[in-house]
Amino acid sequence: MDHPRCDATVAWKALQGHFEAHGRELDLREAFARDPARFDAFTLQAPEVFADLSKNRWDLMTRQLLVDLARECGLEARRDAMLAGEPINTTEGRAVLHTALRAPPGEGLFSDEVHGVLDRLLAFAESVRDTATSGITDVVNIGIGGSDLGPQMVVPALQSIVHPGLRFHFVSNVDGHDIDPVLRRLDARTTLFIVASKTFTTQETMANAAVARAWFLAQGGTDIGRHFVGATTNLAAAAEFGIHTTFGFWDWVGGRYSLWSAIGLPIAIAIGSEHFRALLAGAHAMDRHFATAPLESNLPVQLGLLDVWYRNFHRFTSRSVAPYHQGLKRLPAYLQQLEMESNGKCVDLDGQPLPFGTSPVVWGEPGTNGQHAYFQMLHQGTDVIPVEFIAVKTPSHAHAGLQSKALANCLAQSQALMLGKTTEAALVEKAPTASASLGKLTVARHRTFPGNRPSTTLLLEALTPRALGALIAMYEHRVFTSGALWGINSFDQWGVELGKALAGALLPRLEGTGPVDVTGLDASTAGLLRRLRA
């Protein structure tokens, strides 16, 4: 490694001392009471995203030491290396250049190639959107992981500007319960299938694409070349499948960073070329912010540093994401891949085992639904789980009464998490639904909230393509930041290989017709296999 790992720095030691002295016990209520300027000190305006970081368990010294840590770990140099196209994905010997996909013409690396594909992709998207001529009513994206989660998140997020004459379907799972109900709703004559796979070898996608092609032919479909298109880096394999219209991308685009590439085709068809370009422009604005803003006021950097503080000092193991916008219902799933596939690693760049925690579990649901499910645990459970609220000021519907209720709930939840409620306060409250057979103090204890539970609130003016682009890019760079400090490769995903290989080995045993072959299997797998074959 060219730069020290976080735990080999002076700042890390200083942070350990600071945590013991002022971090572990920091009380947010006292911190706000002590410092009337705390909100101003811990809020940031980045392109399209305003962030309130003040309800987090840190102080100015924590932040300074974390910035020192970032500098000592060479965060700026690592960032610049990524942006310059150096092969920072060392285990695969690849550059990491998703930022080049959203740079304006002439500005980024590989600009001619990028804009050549983009222009062609957008022209194709417009031709599909011209439904009177294309005759298309349904677009089915067949892909998984990064070839699914981005489009599947963005299309509903921008629902208000989605082409009203087109329906969008996403098939990812190799479980036939995914594709089957979709096919039942389709007419082969008016359906466009997008086979989205960077490698064009992924088992799930290839199997579903084969099912779709067989269905298409069985329905009397005749022109596979017109009804199937591909988004892939493997143009030869797509051609072998029978796909003639392909949109390529490059090995320097990681799967989970690929919605800006040809993988974004369903998005481009859904929202049109102008809005797709706005999505890219929003991401580019965040890229510029990440590349140039001082670390102290750099939003993705600040979020990444806070992640390190929480994971390695407070030892929090998860983070919950609560978007108070129903359109962002798939954002938590998208972020799971982005963060957990990127930073769920246990060795550093040199292959040395890490003595500290890396990726937290990222999970969540849109508010207010989550409030009626797991927020109980966030408020009164035994674990502290930082929550990330996402609020959108101006909705894309006209139900003002609903919008103000959603926003009031969003603010109230972060307030309640922080303020809590003392047993004394609970004692003097009325609790009409509490059992009369219990003593007052017992009831009050059940109604006590510890408080001091941290949260971040991200605020968007409106969920426009530009704002969404900036928000996603912010998350990408945040993941980069924590990964860089941990000294890991955030851009490979060897952890998915073993299960793939074992599934490949089990498949013939499951599909076989003779006696079940359990040679070499552990007793549990053998037992389950026997039951499935019985």
Nearest CB to ligand F6P, comparing residues 262 and 268: 262
Q: Beta strand pairing status for 387-394 and 455-462?
A: parallel
**What is the closest distance, in whole angstroms, from the C-beta atom of residue 462 to ligand F6P in the complex?**
29
Residue 47 neighbours by CB under 8 Å, 6+ apart: 282, 285, 286, 288, 289, 470
Determine contact, residues 391/49, Cβ cutoff 8 Å. Answer: no
Catalytic positions: 341, 372, 500
**What is the closest distance, in whole angstroms, from the C-beta atom of residue 147 to ligand F6P in the complex?**
4
Q: Which of 367, 412, 373 is nearest to 390 (CA)?
A: 367
**What is the closest distance, in whole angstroms, from the C-beta atom of residue 260 to ligand F6P in the complex?**
14
Nearest CB to ligand F6P, comparing residues 257 and 486: 257
Q: How far apart are CA 335 and CA 239, in angstroms?
A: 32
Bridge partners of 45?
50
**What is the closest distance, in whole angstroms, from the C-beta atom of residue 251 to ligand F6P in the complex?**
11
Q: What crossing angle do the helices spanning 111-129 and 265-292 adopt, rounded to 10°?
A: 140
**What is the closest distance, in whole angstroms, from the C-beta atom of residue 492 to ligand F6P in the complex?**
9
497: tokens are 């290989």
**What is the closest distance, in whole angstroms, from the C-beta atom of residue 454 to ligand F6P in the complex?**
30
Nearest CB to ligand F6P, comparing residues 77 and 496: 496
What separation in angstroms does the CA of 471 have from each of 267, 299, 333, 362? Answer: 16, 11, 15, 16
What amino acid is encoded at 54 in this protein?
S
DSSP 311-339: IIIS---EEEEEESSGGGTTHHHHHIIII
**What is the closest distance, in whole angstroms, from the C-beta atom of residue 201 to ligand F6P in the complex?**
7
What amino acid is encoded at 355 in this protein?
P
Nearest CB to ligand F6P, comparing residues 258 and 302: 258
Contact residues: ligand F6P, CB under 6 A: 144-147, 197-199, 202, 205, 255-256, 341, 493, 496
Nearest CB to ligand F6P, comparing residues 147 and 152: 147
What separation in angstroms does the CA of 8 have from each of 14, 78, 104, 359, 517? Answer: 11, 17, 39, 19, 50
**What is the closest distance, in whole angstroms, from the C-beta atom of residue 284 to ligand F6P in the complex?**
22
Residue with nearest beta carbon to ligand F6P:
255
Nearest CB to ligand F6P, comparing residues 233 and 368: 233
Nearest CB to ligand F6P, comparing residues 151 and 272: 151
Nearest CB to ligand F6P, comparing residues 62 and 208: 208
Specify the DSSP element, H or E, that contains 45. Answer: strand 43-46
Q: How far apart are CA 344 and CA 357, in angstroms?
A: 9
What separation in angstroms does the CA of 394 have from each of 203, 402, 413? Answer: 42, 12, 20
Bridge partners of 388?
321, 456
CB atoms near residue 32 (< 10 Å): 15
Q: How far apart are CA 517 and CA 509, in angstroms?
A: 6
